[in-house]
Chains A and B, each alone.
Chain A
């Protein structure tokens, strides 16, 4: 369930796209999976992947992350991200730092609209970049969500799946209801889709908990004729207060994220090698902490990449540094990379579709950079 409220509740949903999970047809192309994890509320890149820089301690004496995991000589990793770290050690994880979608106004509602639509003006687009990308690549979709999340919306009609807590009627009732729908109608084809599913996916359906859905999603992604795209949604990164350092609110959210990384990896099996997991957020957080030991809305942040399709364990960045004069508006980590370049490159690689074509049809031919050679090893 995608909701924009309750950034503090830490609720989660998952969405999957690709070829229909409940019907079988063989993919002709080599199947590569793309998983996008939306970190709602504004993920603090300086907490997830802190630069090794004394200046940071000066700006954030009470929210500094200790006991970090080692990455490079310049960056370390939040200790909650253990699964990510183990993938890093095997060359299966990378980071793009000081990146952001091109949005600097600090509103969650605008920012989340834009991170999903990929557009320039809040609320101006009614479709999402992933939906348009899948449409461009000619892929069918299945969303694991009840209302279609904006990021996946496109002109195409998508299949969906989301466990209900209501009881589903018997197949006999469905059959009789179905008989009232005209042939060749949208209703008819939809109910037929429902009735083709194993009844176990309709009745007494299971948990909506993050890691459970992640496990289910990963198993489906691992199937040769399963979906190829999944989208997860984690709320709660809006840590204005008691953000904490190694422990604390932000650490907990990163732990939730890492749990999903772990569940995906575990359940993907060998398909992990053909998978790219990438994170998305509306903005980073201010460099300086606030009076409540939290951080305010900022700009530049880190994008985490994980999976066998990642080229090498590396932090990609045109690092702007933490000097006041290099900050955005004198207070934020500057974003030196348009995060949409990462997403466009990710789709080009995972959907085996021309980067330029995606750039044109999904991102209005904005000056995005093709990062495929740098980020992915195929």
Chain B
């Protein structure tokens, strides 16, 4: 299989911050909003360099979404910043009416997504956000896997007209995608070709899938690993093609199995090429306090869980 090297652990939210720094220097229409979480979103450099293009809205996320929608009228490209929980469920109706239905060019940028937020516990660990956002007509949903890819995605969504949900996280994770890899919205990335099973992964679980594929290779199983960084629009062609080749698939995501990437893949395959599938995801549950590693282990979201899912699904071929 193709080997990847961790260039040094970094948090994906810092990839967002680095992307915003670059956009601040290159795109005068980009503006940033934040609901009292500047440090968490890593956008201090953008603010220092572009104070007139930054709007601190305080702990008032609904107002932030509306202001962002309004800023597009006049040609600005607003990037909102808060935790994923407060970027989605808390403000769902504001996003639905003022942004999605109104077709406003707002980039909803959400940190601390999923269970790896860790010790703060379930109030902050949203595992339903992909589902909430992908259900909105016209919304693009992106969940990049590492620092480099999050930075590249941040740059790419500024060039895309329309509402986008960009989901990233808090923990430091392996940074392994090429530093100069262009981010193509809606285009799945083949990370490692295989013939026995396909692992479709998104976000933090992409690296875990590569670890799982390596362990499986040692057992004589050839796993194909595909990074689905864009959950909507979904690269159906890549999914169908790989499923036809390997005959069984595992989806892996830091999200509830209801409403997540796995369901989108299952729908695609049910229509075009019914294929046995296993879901690495949380099982319709809330999270809890703990370290990211402990939580990934307890809730079955790491390379071991992916490996087990592969062994299960291969028996169903």
Chain A partners chain B? no
Which residues of A are interface residues toward B (Cβ below 8 A)? none
